[in-house]
Amino acid sequence: MTTPIISTAALGELLSERPLLLDCRFDLFDPDRGYRDYLSGHIPGAHYLHLNEDLSGEVIPGTTGRHPLPDRTAFAERMAALGLTPDRPVVAYDDKGGGIAARAWWLLKWIGHERVAVLDGGLPAWLAGGGEVASGREEALPAPPYPIASPEIPRSCDRARVDEVRTDPAFVLVDSRTADRYRGENENIDPVAGHIEGAINLPWPDNLEGGKFKSREALRERFSGLKKEPQQNVFYCGSGVTACHNILAYYYAFGELPALYPGSWSEYLLGE
């Protein structure tokens, strides 16, 4: 598996290698819905990861954003408990075009796992292709402790760094939310509308066409106005989740990882 985005056909071929499958479905307004849907039907062998409980750390009121990063060691332990080993391929999926699964993909890259991809089109594409489904909870076969990459690769930046880069012409800050939220015309999640001063807007859903990722060529064109060096491009969203979708699309296009501001708008507001 050499691509960060995998088709349903390629996943079917990969199943002989017993990949670790991660179901990441989640609804911000009904946090338990994803797990209920998972129990009703999921790709056989898949394990469920909850955005709030598995893909995020503890929310500290007045200090963190809505979905702070989990502790790296704790996340690696969670993955090992599901059977992750350094050579085992991982495929994450959801039902939102990869909007949540991309967070799992980023976190796995963060701990140093390279063989990880997001299922293009997610569960809807799997079902449309006649893929089988299973119900109930899958049993995991734990693996030994996962060897976290050390030292940590600098793939993210904190709020203080964001304040530096937003006024530095050598960098570009990219807001990944939809245009109406970026412009401050609609905000039904965070307490204040608008965006970080100086940020441009590249809405994450525009990476998709018909529910699947656009071609590498189209994505290269989409990101062509950004800085040449990946780490000069800092992506954020409302809470550091869908920004990962833009990072995934960028990585698919160029093979390199730009930076993430994990706290994003919901954390940035706390310092205003």
Distance from C-alpha of 82 to C-alpha of 76, rounded to nearest angstrom = 10
Predicted local confidence at residue 25, as pLDDT: 98
- The token pair that represents 261 in the structure block: 């501001």
Using DSSP bridges, classify how beta strands 212-213 and 208-209 pair: parallel, antiparallel or unpaired: antiparallel
pLDDT level of residue 272 (50, 70, 90 thresholds): low
pLDDT in tens, 201-240: 999 999 999 999 999 999 999 999 999 999 999 999 999 9
CA angle 249–255–256, rounded 5-degree value: 90
Position 1 confidence tier, pLDDT thresholds 50, 70, 90? low
To the query of whether residue 24 is one of the catalytic residues in this protein, the response is no
pLDDT value of position 160: 86
pLDDT at position 75, please? 97
In CATH terms, is domain 159-271 a member of 3.40.250.10? Answer: yes
Residue 213 in tokens = 């990722």
Please give the backbone phi and psi of residue 20, each rounded to the nearest 5 degrees, phi first: -85, 115
Instruction: Give the residue range(s) of CATH 3.40.250.10 domains in the chain.
Output: 5-128, 159-271
In the CATH scheme, what architecture does the domain 5-128 have?
3-Layer(aba) Sandwich (3.40)
Residues 6+ apart with CB under 8 A from 32: none
Compute the mean pLDDT over every residue in the chain, rounded to the nearest whole number. 95
Q: Which of 24, 157, 237, 244 is catalytic?
A: 237
Task: Give 100's Cβ-side CA count (13 Å radius).
Answer: 24
